[in-house]
């Protein structure tokens, strides 16, 4: 990830602006997949735990929830309004590849993809656009949007807040984060291997058919 600011060096108003702005951008703007949303949310809680920071936990948490939900709604509208072709034509290189992976993720998990995507950095930026381009039911999407945003945008700042007071929670949170990242990587490898195997099987099938025809 890039653009990871030192929240502890900012004023309270600057912390609010940076965290909310970044969360909105990562949730709703295509270039947002480069932003460190998880780190910012956890860091916002750490800063709020410092009484000298002037950052209020309730204010920062509510703002994060609003920014996350609003950002995803913007992403959905973008995909619904302009369609997949327009979005893909605007993206190149890594972003285009991430978009295609997000599309496969959505095709596989549907409603749940919007919920789970909050916890997968590159997926959470593209899933709203993909859902919109796929014309996912608006009410179903909005429900999944809120359900996914609650534990992510609210849970991580609260976890950071209490981790600052109880160091053991910080250690546990790092372990959980590491396990989640490892699980995501393993799942990605499994999916890629499965797709390649399916591709080889698909290529071999016509050959077998041709051989039968020649034998007949």
- How sure is the predictor about 93, in pLDDT bands with cuts at 50, 70 and 90? low
Task: Give the pLDDT score at 213.
Answer: 47
Task: Based on the fold, state whether residues 73 and 120 are members of the same structural domain.
Answer: yes
pLDDT value, residue 133: 83
Q: How many domains does the chain have?
A: 2
1 in a structural domain:
no
Q: Is residue 208 part of a domain?
A: yes
Q: What is the pLDDT of residues 42-53, one digit of tens each?
A: 888 888 988 888
Residue 92: helix, strand or coil by DSSP? coil
- Most confidently predicted of 17-31, 53-67, 126-140: 53-67
Residue 24 lies in a domain: yes
3-state SS string over 11-74? CHHHHHHHHHHHHHHHHHCHHHHHCCHHHHHHHHHHHHCCCCCCCCHHHHHHHHHHHHHHHHHH
User: Are both 76 and 179 inside the same structural domain?
Assistant: no
113 touches 105 (CB < 8 A)? yes
pTM: 0.70
Q: pLDDT (tens digit, 9 = 90+) per residue, 2-13?
A: 444 567 677 889
Q: Are 210 and 149 contained in the same domain? A: no
Encoding tokens for residue 63? 């703002």
Domain that holds residue 203: 168-216
Q: How confident is the model at residue 96 (pLDDT cuts 50, 70, 90)?
A: low
């Amino acid at each position: 990830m890039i653009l990871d600011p030192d929240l502890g060096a900012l004023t309270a108003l600057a912390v609010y602006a940076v965290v909310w702005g970044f969360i909105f951008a990562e949730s709703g703007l295509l270039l947002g997949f480069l932003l460190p949303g998880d780190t910012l949310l956890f860091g916002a809680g750490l800063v709020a735990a410092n009484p000298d920071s002037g950052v209020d936990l309730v204010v920062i948490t509510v703002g994060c929830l609003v920014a996350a939900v609003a950002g995803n709604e913007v992403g959905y509208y973008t995909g619904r309004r302009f369609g997949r072709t327009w979005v893909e034509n605007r993206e190149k290189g890594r972003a285009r590849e991430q978009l295609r992976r997000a599309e496969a993720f959505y095709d596989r998990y549907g409603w749940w993809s919007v919920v789970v995507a909050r916890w997968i950095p590159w997926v959470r930026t593209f899933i709203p656009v993909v859902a919109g381009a796929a014309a996912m039911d608006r009410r179903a999407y909005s429900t999944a949007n809120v359900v996914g945003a609650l534990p992510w945008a609210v849970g991580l700042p609260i976890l950071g807040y209490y981790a600052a007071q109880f160091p053991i929670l910080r250690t546990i949170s790092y372990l959980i984060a590491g396990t989640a990242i490892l699980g995501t990587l393993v799942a990605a490898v499994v999916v890629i291997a499965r797709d390649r195997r399916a591709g080889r099987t698909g290529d071999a099938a016509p050959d077998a058919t041709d051989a039968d025809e020649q034998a007949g």
